[in-house]
Structure 1
Amino acid sequence: MWVHDINPIAVDLGMLQIHWYGLMYLIGFASAWYLGNYRAAQPGSGWNAQQVSDLIFWGAMGVVLGGRFGYVLFYNFPQFLDDPLWLFAIWEGGMSFHGGLLGVITAIAVFAWKYKKGFFEIADFVAPLIPIGLGAGRLGNFIGGELWGRATDQTWGVIFPRAGDQLGRHPSQLYEMVLEGVVMFAVLWLYTRKPRPPMAASGLFLLMYGLFRSFVELFREPDGHIGFVALDWLTMGQLLSLPMIVIGALFLLMAHKRVAGNARV
């Protein structure tokens, strides 16, 4: 088995250190900006470059602020109660996808109000732009040797020194990178190449992420200070993903049911 020994610091300038994880955020935002402009340039898109830039800015703020607030609320609220200023100690790490999602939803609502666009017009536009950033973030987790998987005797297991043992573990970060990044991007990008009913792309995003995250959680080590939240197998990640699966499926059903109803009129 391979022992993880990747340096999480990409550039070390003494007093200034640039971590790979931070670069992955930049890759995520840059890819969303590029893909958003590509889609905006298509005939009849209803979008322009300035709107895309503003959307990425508001979305980035939602990801960072929501991700931090979500981590504190969902994963370490007792520490916040003991030390409220810890909320701002982002250099210590701690971001939550589900919190970031809530932050992005809030950003979309603000953007919709500012530009007088429909909420799902924006959400459906954004959905295919997100997975590359998710995949890059999971790669950053792997490079940083964090959020490791459960113990395994498979030959592709990885020994993560930060886990405090010499057990081979599932590289669950890479599993998530492939599913949340590569697969989700390919499916959503191809799906949205043709006009789809409102809510459909957003629903597909929520459904796929919820299913993929719940699946990978079977191989990912639960947070040590939380463990399993119920039934000796349900993790916090799965619990937070369940509403995504339900809501995503409902959005898809409602979107296509509306199309079928209009076709019968």
Structure 2
Amino acid sequence: MLMHPRFDPVAISLGPVQIHWYGLTYLAAFALFLWLASLRVKQPAFAQAGWTRRDVEDLLFWGVVGVIVGGRLGYALFYKPGHYAANPLEVLALWKGGMSFHGGLLGVIAAMALYARSRGRPFLQVTDLIAPCVPTGLAAGRIGNFINGELWGRAADASLPWAMVFPQSGSDVPRHPSQLYQFALEGLLLFVLLWLYARGRRATGQVSGAFLVGYGVLRFVAEYFREPDGFLGLLALNMSMGQWLCVPMVAAGAWLWLRATRRTH
């Protein structure tokens, strides 16, 4: 049985300025997106459509705004609607934590829709471009969760070689290091599968649909090892909020993929 090392959340201190590990993982996520998307626009389908490195930089800016705004609003609406309805100004208190991936995804979708409209580009062409570049950012975020000792897993058998005690949980119960499971599944595995899939000639919308299905399925599985939010617990059918939010995501992705596929026949 392992013990979480309880990393110092501050990675670098420069006088009064403190740089947190979680902030560095966000920077890593943005840098990886910039690199991968720059490779994507060199592929024939996007190069012929006139995509450039400057477009990638603009997409990153729009995406960052979408992640922050959507992630925070999603957390408030999906997880603590009553609390934030009574304390609306706390939605702005980002330093207190609380971000939702599904909310961030909706924020990015909205941002990409605005970007596509402003540039006169097909919306699904934009999302197909960025979809394979997203999982590495998710992987970086899960490393940040592990360093912070947050979003720990459910109780595990003490005989499990990698079972880990998270003192931050307030108990000495051995748990699944679910942050690392999510790093491996919705981060690395999803990236490899999507990157390979997107290298072939795909109908517009297929890559976007594959991302939604892939993330939704892998996150659904990982949720069985992740401790549900204490203030919510398990919901109907013994499913967590994260799992319930994955259901429409998978359905939308399957519909999008099938719709794109039928258009090619």
The normalised TM-score by structure 1 is 0.95
Is 1:255 matched up with 2:260? yes
Unaligned runs of 5+ in 1: none
Match in the other structure for 1:92: 96
* 1:201-240 matched pairs, under 5 angstroms: 201-231=207-237, 233-240=238-245
Identity of paired residues, percent? 50
Match in the other structure for 1:7: 8
For structure 1, which segment, 39-48 or 152-161, has the greater mean C-alpha deviation from structure 2 after superposition? 39-48
Q: In the TM superposition, what whole-angstrom CA distance separates every residue of 1:81-102 from its partner, at most 9, and x where no partner exists? A: 2211110111111110000000
Aligned residues: 259
Question: SS state of the match for residue 224, structure 1?
Answer: coil
For 1:7 and 1:176, the matched residues in 2 are separated by 22
Is 1:103 matched up with 2:104? no
For 2:3 and 2:225, the matched residues in 1 are separated by 18
Letter in 2 for 1:149: G
Give the aligned CA root-mean-square deviation in angstroms. 1.1
For 1:42 and 1:252, the matched residues in 2 are separated by 21
Q: In the TM superposition, what whole-angstrom CA distance separates every residue of 1:103-136 from its partner, at most 9, and x where no partner exists? A: 0000111111111000100010010010000011
For 1:43 and 1:258, the matched residues in 2 are separated by 21
Q: Say if 2:72 and 2:104, in contact at 8 Å, map to a contact too.
A: yes
Match in the other structure for 2:34: 33
* 1:72-221 matched pairs, under 5 angstroms: 72-153=76-157, 154-221=160-227
Q: Say if 2:41 and 2:129, in contact at 8 Å, map to a contact too.
A: no
For structure 1, which segment, 90-99 or 248-257, has the greater mean C-alpha deviation from structure 2 after superposition? 248-257
Q: 1:241 to 1:39 in 2, by over 3 A?
A: same
Letter in 2 for 1:92: K
Question: SS state of the match for residue 156, structure 1?
Answer: coil
Aligned-residue offset at 1:182: 0.6
For 1:178 and 1:116, the matched residues in 2 are separated by 36
Question: SS state of the match for residue 10, structure 1?
Answer: strand
Q: Say if 2:206 and 2:257, in contact at 8 Å, map to a contact too.
A: yes
Aligned-residue offset at 1:202: 0.4
Aligned-residue offset at 1:68: 0.7
